[in-house]
Amino acid sequence: MNRSTISPARTLAATAVLGLTLLPAACTAGSEAAPEDGAAPATDAAALTVEDPWAKAVDDGMTAVFGTLTNTSGHDVRLVSAESAAAGSTELHEFVDEGGSPVMQEAGDGLLVPAETSFTLEPGGPHVMLLGVTDPLEPGEEVTVAVTAEDGSELEITAPVRSFDGANESYGQDGDAQDGSMDSMDHSDQDAGDGSDHGEDM
């Protein structure tokens, strides 16, 4: 009876082909490994943390959301819009100097949170403005605002409502705050403090 034989050369060739076949698979598996610690966040919103968020209590009209945003990433994050079910419209606001007078207006280019930096939303400074509040916001309640970053990701801010005498904005027909209407600045750092002055009714 004849028996087929496999030569050593043919065995070596088959082993080499098998090795080449497995090599790409091994490389592919390595490329799918989880990113190392310290890798950039998947979205701009994921790079931000929020500390001490709060909103001014109002019966109607307008109010604002404040707090401290910290960008934990190595790249700048730009916030471009905001929305809240608690108001008819929600805008990102800033103060600009017009002839020596601070004027509040919608931030046309959004609000920039620099890399590895804390950015404060505060009375007398940048803030999230709620216009046309749908229901009274009373101390002890909470209001939620979704802020959208330039890449489309969203940061949800849940802010406790506090009693606060400042931040009494008055708008003209064009929607911008008028000079001298801020009770000057009742919307000021001295009223904002570290947040402790706002909780007297909490």
Label residues 153-167 b or e (16+ Cβ within 10 Å = b). bbbebebbbbebebb
Per-residue model confidence as pLDDT tens digits over 52-80: 999 999 999 999 999 999 999 999 999 99
Question: Is the confidence at residue 156, as pLDDT, over 90?
Answer: yes
> What does DSSP say about strands 62-71 and 48-56: parallel, antiparallel, or unpaired?
antiparallel
DSSP assignment, residue 176? P
Q: Tokens standing for 58?
A: 């109002």
Q: Which helix (H) or strand (E) holds 60?
A: none
Tell me what percent of the residues of the chain surpass a pLDDT of 90: 55
Nearest CA among 202, 174, 190 for reference residue 55? 202
Does residue 4 carry a pLDDT above 80?
Answer: no
- Complete domains list, the chain, with CATH: 45-197 (2.60.40.1890)
Q: Which of 42, 93, 41, 96 is nearest to 72 (CA)?
A: 41
Q: Tokens 């000021």 — which residue? A: 188
Residues 192 and 65: their CA atoms lie apart, in Å, by: 12
129's tokens: 């403005």
Phi and psi torsions of 54, nearest 5°: -160, 160
pLDDT at 163: 95
Give the model's pLDDT for residue 157.
Answer: 98
